[in-house]
Amino acid sequence: MTIQVGDTLPSINLTTMTSEGPKPVSLTELSAGKKVVLFAVPGAFTPTCSVQHLPGFLEKNSELKDKGVDIVACISVNDPFVMQAWGEDRKVGDDLLMLSDGNGEFTAAIGLEMDGSGFGLGTRSQRYAMVIDDGVVSILNVESGPGLDVSSAETILAQL
């Protein structure tokens, strides 16, 4: 079943890279008492993800923060080393939290998997953006097909 507005996030750890190496991250703990924008991409370094989706959230980061967002995070079914390399390549610095759902457990738990095997990607995440208020989904925009429309930074900004 797909996660819906009003649902609480599942308690599944993701991973981020730190100077000490990979570190588990609980979205439940991360979003406690905070407003988090979480956007998902099918794959790091892929065209739409690298040229439009991630850069849009990077460019609109300060505007999102001005609207009360505490954390902007990008998630992908890639390993944490790839997410770190992609973040460095895109120069995200501390503006975006790069999260790995390496085994796709979080993606499966929220029902937003995508079959990318036709492109050699295997099971990935659908492209989406959600706003999480204190662990509860308050906005959820899932793309219905390829491309970037409802999950863009501009769309989320307009909804806040």
Set 36, 41, 49, 132: catalytic member:
49
Please name the residues in contact with 95: beta carbons below 8 A apart, sequence gap of 6 or more: 58, 61, 72
The tokens describing 129, both together, are 């953006």
b/e per residue 72-95 (b: at least 16 CB within 10 A): bbbbbbbbbebbbbbbeebebeeb
Q: Quick one: CA dihedral 80, 134, 131, 94, positive or negative?
A: negative
Per the annotation, the verdict on 74 as an active-site residue is no
Catalogue the active-site residues.
49
